[in-house]
Structure 1
Amino acid sequence: MESISFGTDGWRATLEEFTSPRVRMVGQAVATYLTDEGLAGPVAVGYDARESSRGFAEELARVLCANGFDVLLADRDRPTPLVAYAIADRDLAGGLVITASHNPPEYNGVKFIPSDGAPALPDVTDAIANRLAEPDPLPEADHGAVTEVDFAGPHADAALELVESMAGDVDLADRTVAYDAMHGSGRGTTDALLERAGASLECLRCEPDPAFGGGAPEPAAENLETLIDLVTADDTAPELGIANDGDADRIAVVTPERGYLDENLFFAALYDYLLETDSGPAVRTVSTTYLIDRVAQSHGETVHEVPVGFKWVAQAIGEHDALVGGEESGGFTVRGHVREKDGVLMALLAAVMHAAEPIDDRVDRLLAEHGTVVQDKISVDCPDDEKERVISDLEAEIPESVAGTAVEDINTADGFKLLLADGSWLLVRPSGTEPVLRVYAEAEDEERVTELLEAGRDLVEPLV
């Protein structure tokens, strides 16, 4: 039990720790929690493209069935947001997904999704963690049944209907998109949705490979070189590039002029696009660009800042009826959809937005109007059991200035965010998924961001 802990987005661990007996304990804990809460409906179980994921999903299904729950098991590896949508759409008791998202193939993980399809908040994951136990089956006559289900079709229908409600008829005919699935569960799902909308697709890494080609299915620029080279090659290249992470809840966008498009800039462009036909606030995490705030202000809207973790974004979306919510790591959702980040829906929305006005042109216009914004981050190794101490010790080490600029304010919503006199900022916070501390910085140019990140590293490393 000591090895099972729920972080920012469920429990993830290497396969040395992520074992069948422990997965069964999580399944029993969820079954007990749902029973205690009086939730007796079916439970969805999904899984990603890792070699071990189908087997772990079947273990969960057996434990849930032995506790009297019917289980809707994905017919193949599918993106996490498809399972989240199915839970809300079908009024299920909840769901579980076996996934380690963007982590390397030697990892796996499990996340619980409540009945509203939004990420579980800490009171729920704590309640589950407190119920970890060996499976306790009911008499066989009281067992539930397992039904294999295609989660892709209903989600695609909903995505098309939602985007059509925003943009009118969705017709991507004569549009060319390059899609990189990174061998993850977006293959056959994201590309199929784009093709259904009329786009011509050039697919990269859309073949099954549980080892993800020997790397991690993390859609960072350094892992998307082939996609970037393809989209930026010449005038005959695909006009837009899209990639998903391992479980396709996040999106990366590649444009002809910029290559890899910073997720912060995509968020700003997306919000600006949505505000052309709708209204409402945005929700962003503490690590996400203030450019969102500038876009909001120009439209007479507001922004709600939350700690890192999409569960907090989802909660704020519900509280404020937000038009859009997102984070700098590429997770987004919009009003009218399930409150879970969805890289499949966002792929369609990105293509439709690009068809209306090239994303590069929209970003150029926003930066000309609101000023240049550059953001980057680094990681500092830190064991999980040392993170709390380091962040606590950091409080006494906060300087009066960083890289020659005075600290005007300190935001403690998630770690320490130092707001500087020149409008730049530096953030230090513990990762919820990896044994590292994250150091983020935002400023007007890359040189200044580099200075701030170096100052952040120098501030944190002596404390680890």
Structure 2
Amino acid sequence: MDNWEEVHEKWTSFQNLDPSLKKELDHLAGDKKKLEDAFYKELTFGTGGLRGVLGPGINRMNIYTVRKAVNGLAQYLKENTVNVYDRGVAISYDSRYMSQEFALETAKVLGAYGIRSYVFDELHPTPALSFAVRNLGTAAGVMITASHNPPEYNGFKVYNEDGGQITPAEASEIITFIQQTENELTVPYLERSELDNKELLNWIGEEIDNAYLEELAQISRLDDDGIKREKDLPIVFTPLHGTALELVTKGLRQLNFTNVDVVKEQAAPDPEFSTVDSPNPEEHQAFTMAIEEGKKSNADVLIGTDPDADRLGVAAKDDAGKYRVLTGNQLGSLLLDYILSHSDKAILTNGRLIKTIVTSELGRKIAAKYGVETIDTLTGFKFIGEKIRQFDATGETFVFGYEESYGYLISSFARDKDAVQAAILACEMAYYWNKQGKTLHDALHDLFEKHGFYLEGMSSLTLKGKEGSEKIAAIMESIRKEPLAEIAGLKVLEVEDYLSGERTFPENGSVEKIKLPNENVVKYKLDNDCWVCLRPSGTEPKIKCYFGVCSSSNQESVETLESLKTEMENVMNQV
């Protein structure tokens, strides 16, 4: 790549530079560190797409980096997709700054290639985009979102014709075409009026919502009478200023849930996410307002979705009557058990649970009880979607997919994690257990008593910018060069290095191949069914360390988990 100062000069001297970006560059003039960070490298197009901070520069999300990505996507589709011009591309967007603008920019560049676009006429969830690709039969899909990242971020996610996130192989080909685009400032595009004149811009209205809701109704495990029965279970819902309000409330109405309170202060879309520190249901502070609302209405269950509605958090009352947020692993285990216990045994004969390598092993235990095989994938729902697609050929039956980071899929009419589906079934599950005189926490305790007290945790280090990237690389290099023999007194039984694709057994030095794609991840399997996994985030400037433990008591699991976290945090900080 050219020297960053040369790239900066190219931008500042470009006569037709977008006025708002030019103004920002003028404001940054003289701040060499910030300018270098904006121009020293291109914003990485990962296995799902782009995600980054908004602003001018090739290492930022702006109309030019979006246009360059779309240019590569368009060329890839021309080379690899049948009838792309007529089938077109579906496009959706969330409530973030520039989301609607980036959606239209996507259509403009596709239009320059004669490729039709189908754009939602208002913001919509990620799962609705995934569904639209399948329903409309488009050649691909694009979702403008940065999920639960802070307000200064936005992103560009690409979906294949199956409605799943693009696979690593597909991403690699798209990246090749993107890299062939020499100048992001001069990517061809059509103006809005030209798109209209050539009938290359089509707006998606309520017809897709209605089709989605029809499919959503089918995920219920209730019989016809159960669906028709009015359900007054008190529910509080917060969309956290995002996209889920309409589909979730309509979905609950379909099942005759009549006592649903929406957190009014968080109902309207807001790119600042002004009522929360982070619009992420993984962060318990995001439930602060929902908990206050729940206290007023004595709600049985609280549900919260992230801005693009692909992640769901749930809180329920514990033994002391206080609302406690379930972890992603806990909610996934509860949903899995509810689904399998209410499924035809004949269907489960060939059934498959799909989870990631950092997701709780409790799911495997539950699935085995019902005769369902568990398949592990790398971290990222794209791998779960890819597996579901393979089932079309193998004849295996998808019964549930989930990951620890609050992502769930119940029915494969969508092919990415779907918080709308999960929200509806979580409320139905809470209603079922309520009729048995139990809360969700009671049901969870029953699972622990049956299968063991599985607890999981995660620590992360945020290391921003060029210097941060180098530190993250140093931590992973250190772990590989000097593998740990024991962690918190627990002996290392296996070391799985997914970058080399090898599983090593320290006791005898034997090595075997891992049958998963290569990725920068190291996992330690320890005594007593415990494990630790280190992984740099693909979407945030973080390195994450995951932990899993199991014992015969909650107290023992809590203590072991804390010991693992303390030791691994020390390891990362020392490096």
TM range (shorter): over 0.9
Residues in 1 aligned to 2:253 and 2:273: alpha-carbon distance in whole angstroms: 24
**Do the aligned residues in 1 keep the contact of 2:496 with 2:523 (CA within 8 Å)?**
yes
**Do the aligned residues in 2 keep the contact of 1:185 with 1:246 (CA within 8 Å)?**
yes
Match of 2:272 among 211, 214, 220: 211
Q: Give the C-alpha shift of residue 210 in structure 1.
A: 1.6
Aligned ranges 1:427-438 → 2 under 5 Å:
427-438=533-544
Given residue 158 of structure 1, which amino acid in structure 2 is its aligned partner? E
Between the aligned residues of both structures, percent identity stands at 27
Q: Which residue of 1 aligns with 2:477?
A: 392
Q: Rate the CA distance shift 1:96–1:336 in 2: closer, same or farther, 3 A.
A: closer
Match of 1:373 among 454, 459, 463: 454
Match of 1:145 among 191, 197, 200: 200
**Do the aligned residues in 1 keep the contact of 2:312 with 2:422 (CA within 8 Å)?**
yes
Secondary structure of 1:341's aligned partner: coil
Q: Which residue of 1 aligns with 2:214?
A: 157
Q: Which residue of 1 aligns with 2:286?
A: 223
TM-score normalised by L of structure 1? 0.93
Q: Rate the CA distance shift 1:371–1:271 in 2: closer, same or farther, 3 A.
A: same
Given residue 159 of structure 1, which amino acid in structure 2 is its aligned partner? L
Given residue 26 of structure 1, which amino acid in structure 2 is its aligned partner? A
Is the radius of gyration larger for structure 1 or structure 2?
Answer: 2
1:355 aligned to 2:440?
no
**Do the aligned residues in 2 keep the contact of 1:65 with 1:144 (CA within 8 Å)?**
no
TM-score normalised by L of structure 2? 0.76
Match of 1:288 among 359, 384, 389: 359
Q: Which residue of 2 aligns with 1:37?
A: 80
**Do the aligned residues in 2 keep the contact of 1:403 with 1:452 (CA within 8 Å)?**
yes
Residues in 2 aligned to 1:106 and 1:138: alpha-carbon distance in whole angstroms: 28
**For 1:281-314, what per-residue CA distance to the aligned partner results, in whole angstroms no more than 9, with x for missing partners?**
2111111101011112222222111111111122
**For 1:331-356, what per-residue CA distance to the aligned partner results, in whole angstroms no more than 9, with x for missing partners?**
11124422210001111111122222
Residues in 2 aligned to 1:338 and 1:74: alpha-carbon distance in whole angstroms: 16
Given residue 302 of structure 1, which amino acid in structure 2 is its aligned partner? E
Structure 2: give runs of 5+ residues left out of the alignment: 2-40, 391-395, 435-439, 499-518, 551-556
Given residue 342 of structure 1, which amino acid in structure 2 is its aligned partner? D
Secondary structure of 1:115's aligned partner: coil
**Do the aligned residues in 2 keep the contact of 1:267 with 1:326 (CA within 8 Å)?**
yes
Q: Which residue of 1 aligns with 2:512?
A: none
Given residue 295 of structure 1, which amino acid in structure 2 is its aligned partner? I
Q: Give the C-alpha shift of residue 229 in structure 1.
A: 4.4
**For 1:46-71, what per-residue CA distance to the aligned partner results, in whole angstroms no more than 9, with x for missing partners?**
10001311111111111112211221
Residues in 2 aligned to 1:78 and 1:364: alpha-carbon distance in whole angstroms: 36
Q: Which residue of 2 aligns with 1:249?
A: 310
Secondary structure of 1:357's aligned partner: helix
Q: Which residue of 2 aligns with 1:20?
A: 63
Q: Which residue of 1 aligns with 2:515?
A: none
Secondary structure of 1:422's aligned partner: helix
Residues in 1 aligned to 2:155 and 2:81: alpha-carbon distance in whole angstroms: 26
Residues in 1 aligned to 2:287 and 2:199: alpha-carbon distance in whole angstroms: 43
Residues in 2 aligned to 1:436 and 1:138: alpha-carbon distance in whole angstroms: 38
Residues in 2 aligned to 1:353 and 1:9: alpha-carbon distance in whole angstroms: 32
Residues in 2 aligned to 1:47 and 1:82: alpha-carbon distance in whole angstroms: 10
Residues in 2 aligned to 1:128 and 1:146: alpha-carbon distance in whole angstroms: 23
**Do the aligned residues in 2 keep the contact of 1:423 with 1:443 (CA within 8 Å)?**
yes
Q: Rate the CA distance shift 1:310–1:384 in 2: closer, same or farther, 3 A.
A: farther
1:78 aligned to 2:131?
no
Q: Rate the CA distance shift 1:275–1:237 in 2: closer, same or farther, 3 A.
A: same
Secondary structure of 1:376's aligned partner: strand
Residues in 2 aligned to 1:137 and 1:442: alpha-carbon distance in whole angstroms: 49
**Do the aligned residues in 2 keep the contact of 1:332 with 1:341 (CA within 8 Å)?**
yes
1:196 aligned to 2:254?
yes
Q: Give the C-alpha shift of residue 13 in structure 1.
A: 0.5
Secondary structure of 2:213's aligned partner: helix
Residues in 1 aligned to 2:428 and 2:490: alpha-carbon distance in whole angstroms: 42
Match of 1:447 among 537, 559, 565: 559
Q: Give the C-alpha shift of residue 376 in structure 1.
A: 1.2
Q: Which residue of 2 aligns with 1:92?
A: 138
Structure 1: give runs of 5+ residues left out of the alignment: none
RMSD: 2.2
**Do the aligned residues in 1 keep the contact of 2:81 with 2:139 (CA within 8 Å)?**
no
Residues in 2 aligned to 1:229 and 1:8: alpha-carbon distance in whole angstroms: 39
Q: Rate the CA distance shift 1:308–1:84 in 2: closer, same or farther, 3 A.
A: same
Q: Which residue of 1 aligns with 2:334?
A: 269
